[in-house]
């Protein structure tokens, strides 16, 4: 009896002593929910970062919007190869502070944004410096090469709508990174970000989505295994769209309608097919 008790205790001790430590490939990814990313003060000395930043001159886009281009990059100091990086290519709108806040809300929570004043390009640089330092400090803790690339792109819109696209590419370990594209449609006349409910005519929602589903079915027919994809990833609606100059785009993220290998489906709808479902001021440019 004593021998069996001794063996049992020894087994427990061995299990505790051999508790599995996280391997490098087991590093947890940053939260997919951008609101969950907190802008806490970085846990590393800012002197340990190599930071480059540029603020360009004011310039006017074709649709009359005044912008300032911001470039920012951060990596561990004195790192020459396989370095973690946090790179940002951004647009700042000096004459439309509400648009700056609308764009930033796609990355950070309202609570975090309320802590700062982002009325200048310099303040925006400080925001990205804090976030970059936190990101790189975590990569150093796990001793892995992580990467973040954020880009804000202006695309040609219509009917007084400024179309902006946030490209967010991240790698925090694993087989592959993640990439998202989020559109923002800023109605200059109404000074607000548009949602689909703002542009679809009353009681025409089903008509609009029927057009999208037709594009979805066309996309499925070009795939090697449409039946299994339909079963595993049934069609769903999204509020990620763009009122582009030539067509309305409905943009999906990776994994929304299929496996990672199928990418990020985007369905472009000619405005001629949306005459009966979209508000006329956005169709008849």
d(CA 221, CA 200): 28
Torsion of CA 33, 34, 38, 43, to 10 degrees: 100
Question: What is the pLDDT at residue 247?
Answer: 97
CA distances from 202 to 75, 152, 169, 224, 278 (A): 50, 32, 37, 38, 9
First-residue to last-residue Cα distance in the chain: 88
Q: Please tell me the predicted confidence (pLDDT) of residue 13.
A: 38
Predicted confidence at residue 67, as pLDDT, reads: 96
Q: Which residues pair with 70 in a beta bridge?
A: 55, 90
Place of tokens 């009359």: 64
Residues 6+ apart with CB under 8 A from 160: 187, 188, 189
What's the rounded Cα separation, in Å, for the pair 56 and 68?
6
Looking at residue 46, what is its pLDDT? Answer: 67
Q: Could you give the dihedral angle defined by the CA atoms of residues 41, 42, 43 and 47, in that order, rounded to the nearest 10 degrees? A: -120
C-alpha 275, offset from chain centre = 31
Please name each of the domains of the chain with its CATH number. 32-193 (3.30.565.40), 196-283 (3.90.640.20)
Per-position pLDDT tens, the chain of length 285: 444 444 333 443 333 343 333 333 333 333 444 444 444 444 456 677 889 999 999 999 888 889 999 999 999 888 878 899 999 999 999 999 999 989 998 787 666 666 666 789 999 998 899 889 889 888 888 888 999 999 999 999 999 999 999 999 999 888 888 999 999 999 999 999 999 999 999 999 999 999 999 999 999 988 888 888 888 899 999 999 999 999 999 999 999 999 988 999 999 999 999 999 999 999 886
**Collapsed DSSP state (helix, strand, coil) of residue 255:** coil
- Which residues in 267-276 are b (16+ Cβ under 10 Å) and which e? bebebebbee
**pLDDT value of residue 71:** 96
- 189 φ/ψ angles, rounded to the nearest 5 degrees: -65, -35
pLDDT for 45: 60
Structure tokens at 252: 């999906």
**Residue of 73, 80, 173, 69 whose CA lies nearest to 121:** 69
């Amino acid at each position: 009896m004593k021998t069996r008790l001794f063996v049992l205790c020894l087994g427990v001790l061995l299990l505790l002593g051999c508790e599995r430590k996280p391997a490098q490939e087991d590093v947890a990814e940053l939260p997919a929910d951008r609101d969950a990313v907190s802008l806490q003060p970085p846990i590393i000395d800012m002197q340990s970062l190599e930071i480059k930043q540029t603020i360009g001159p004011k310039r006017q886009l074709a649709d009359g919007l005044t912008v300032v281009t911001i470039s920012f990059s951060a990596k561990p100091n004195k790192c020459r190869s396989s370095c973690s990086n946090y790179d940002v290519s951004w647009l700042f709108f000096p004459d439309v502070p509400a648009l700056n806040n609308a764009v930033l809300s796609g990355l950070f929570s309202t609570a975090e944004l309320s802590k700062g004043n982002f009325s200048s390009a310099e303040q925006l640089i400080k925001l990205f410096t804090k976030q970059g330092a936190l990101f790189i400090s975590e990569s150093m803790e796990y001793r892995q090469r992580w990467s973040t690339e954020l880009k804000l792109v202006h695309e040609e819109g219509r009917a007084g709508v400024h179309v902006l696209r946030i490209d967010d590419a991240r790698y925090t370990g694993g087989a592959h990174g993640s990439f998202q594209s989020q559109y923002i449609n800023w109605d200059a006349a109404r000074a607000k970000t548009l949602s689909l409910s703002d542009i679809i005519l009353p009681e025409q929602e089903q008509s609009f989505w029927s057009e999208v589903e037709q594009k979805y079915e066309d996309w499925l027919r070009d795939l090697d295994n449409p039946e299994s994809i339909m079963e595993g990833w049934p069609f769903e609606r999204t509020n990620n769209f763009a009122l582009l100059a030539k067509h309305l785009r409905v943009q999906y993220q990776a994994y929304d309608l299929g496996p990672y290998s199928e990418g990020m489906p985007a369905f472009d709808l000619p405005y001629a097919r949306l005459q009966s479902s979209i508000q006329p001021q956005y169709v008849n440019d």
